[in-house]
């Protein structure tokens, strides 16, 4: 499948790398290609800058959001939640129409430091805002509840015995995303219904962040025991 990945940070790198490894034709989209390629420092979390990652992944190309989307069947939103709408606007609503968007972003607001608060929550969600702003997109909220490494390689923890969620208005888009998650190794994928299901998964972030501090690692996962 031809896939555009928006975002050049840890999540974008993990998704782009794994999708390419699985044989997909992957293009990464960024706001300013020259600025992304000029980065030489690790990000705030100690992840390598994009150019270093790109050298190890020559099969993945880098371009603008709009160019990345051209011809793509599926788009992965791995940007920071605060800039997701801007990135999609830059891609162009007309270029996005009819496409599946896997929305991994969380509405984290770091303006007051750590832990971040959520800039949308409870009676609305980032997933819903994206769907409302781009009605032609088929938004599927997914993979926003676990660390990047486990998103794409769930079997690295407990043989993959843990849970991920999908939520979205389009049943066909959810099937496509579910198959993609299965190709990563996910075996327990719960369909939370329409895009308003994003509220609950985005609101998992506060306990997720607290657990990361308590457990001193991001390598943990929610499992819904039933």
State the sign of the Cα–Cα–Cα–Cα dihedral 199, 137, 99, 192: positive
Confirm or reject binding of residue 223 to a second copy (CB under 8 A): yes
Distances (CA, A) of 178 to 5, 69, 167, 193, 215: 17, 21, 10, 13, 29
Cβ-based nearer residue to a second copy, 34 or 225: 225
Confirm or reject binding of residue 73 to a second copy (CB under 8 A): no
d(CA 198, CA 101): 13
Q: Pick from 21, 86, 122, 179: which binds a second copy (CB under 8 A)?
A: 122
Q: Pick from 121, 128, 140, 147: which binds a second copy (CB under 8 A)?
A: 121
d(CA 117, CA 150): 23
> Helices 126-133 and 84-91: crossing angle, nearest 10°?
20
Token digits for 81?
Answer: 């939640």
Confirm or reject binding of residue 171 to a second copy (CB under 8 A): no
Nearest distance from C-beta of residue 138 to a second copy, angstroms: 20
Confirm or reject binding of residue 188 to a second copy (CB under 8 A): no
Nearest distance from C-beta of residue 168 to a second copy, angstroms: 13
Nearest distance from C-beta of residue 219 to a second copy, angstroms: 7
Token digits for 43?
Answer: 């990000």
Backbone region of residue 217 per phi and psi (left: phi > 0; alpha: psi in -120 to 50; beta: other values)? beta
Confirm or reject binding of residue 123 to a second copy (CB under 8 A): yes
Interface ranges with a second copy (CB under 8 A): 117-118, 121-123, 157-158, 161-162, 165, 190-193, 197, 199-201, 203-204, 206-211, 213-215, 217, 219-226
């Amino acid at each position: 499948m031809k896939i555009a990945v928006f975002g050049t940070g840890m999540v974008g790198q993990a998704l782009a790398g794994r999708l390419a490894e699985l044989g997909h034709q992957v293009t990464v989209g960024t706001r300013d290609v020259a600025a992304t390629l000029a980065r030489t420092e690790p990000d705030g979390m100690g992840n390598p800058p994009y150019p270093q990652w790109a050298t190890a992944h020559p099969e993945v190309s880098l371009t603008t959001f709009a160019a990345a989307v051209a011809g793509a069947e599926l788009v992965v939103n791995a940007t920071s939640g605060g800039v997701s709408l801007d990135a999609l606007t830059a891609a162009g609503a007309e270029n996005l129409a009819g496409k599946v968007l896997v929305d991994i972003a969380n509405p984290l607001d770091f303006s007051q430091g750590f832990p971040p608060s959520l800039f949308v929550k409870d009676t609305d969600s980032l997933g819903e805002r994206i769907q409302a702003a781009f009605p032609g997109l088929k938004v599927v909220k997914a993979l926003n509840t676990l660390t990047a490494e486990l998103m794409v390689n769930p079997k690295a923890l407990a043989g993959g015995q843990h849970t991920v969620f999908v939520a979205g208005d389009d049943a066909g888009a959810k099937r496509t995303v579910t198959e993609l998650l299965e190709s990563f190794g996910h075996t327990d994928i719960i369909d939370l219904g329409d895009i308003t299901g994003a509220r609950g998964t985005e609101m998992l972030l506060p306990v997720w962040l607290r657990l990361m501090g308590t457990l001193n690692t991001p390598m943990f996962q929610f499992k819904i025991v039933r």
